[in-house]
Amino acid sequence: MLLMMEEATKPGGTARRAAVEGIRMSAKTGTAQVFNTATGRYSDDTFIASCLAIFPTDDPKVIVYVVIQNPRAGETYGGRIAAPVVRSLSEEIISYLGIPRRGDIVATHSGVVTIPSRPEIVIGAEMPDLNGLSKRELLPLLEIEDISVSIRGEGWVAAQTPRPGEPVTRGMSIVLELE
């Protein structure tokens, strides 16, 4: 049934104005005269225009149904007056739900991000390169006895004194400039 309804959204179909680029849609339009109980006949000037869309055709997730009672815009056919409303609503729903369109590149991700931890800073006989380390990563340096550490600024190490590779001695001062 959905495959037959999909034909209505293709060029020449009654629901072609409901079609959304890149999405397989199945649709059915309707135009009905309203029964007038006073005359016992169907009205010649009172109508109901409708359009129903189901998408994506191959894995339905959404149904959009638009009914316009007694349209006054000079149009009465569901394919002409209700189908464009269905297309507009469907475009918004597709974007909101993130339904992929034909040609979209879809990436999947488990949602888990592993951030490798940096090795602990070890001050041995030579000064290590601390450039690029964050203030948080520098905090263990403040616990080292016999060395004075001064951290200036916020962010990551942009300059250090002494420079990497210089000898480390007891009582020395390390100055780290962060940006």
For the segment 152-163, what is each residue's pLDDT rounded down to a tens digit? 999 999 999 999
Domain holding 33: CATH number? 3.30.450.330
**CA quadruple 105, 94, 99, 97: dihedral sign:** positive
Count of structural domains, the chain:
2
- Residues in the chain, pLDDT under 50: none
pTM: 0.59
Same domain for 150 and 79: no
- Residue for token digits 């942009």? 158
Does the residue 120 lie in any domain? no
Candidates 147, 150, 148, 143; CA nearest to 175 is: 150
* Confidence at residue 124, expressed as pLDDT on a 0 to 100 scale: 87
Reduced to 3 states, what is the DSSP secondary structure of residue 177? strand
Does the residue 110 lie in any domain? no
Does the residue 124 lie in any domain? no
**Per residue in 129-148, pLDDT tens?**
999 999 989 988 888 888 99
Domain that residue 67 falls in: 2-97
Does the residue 127 lie in any domain? no
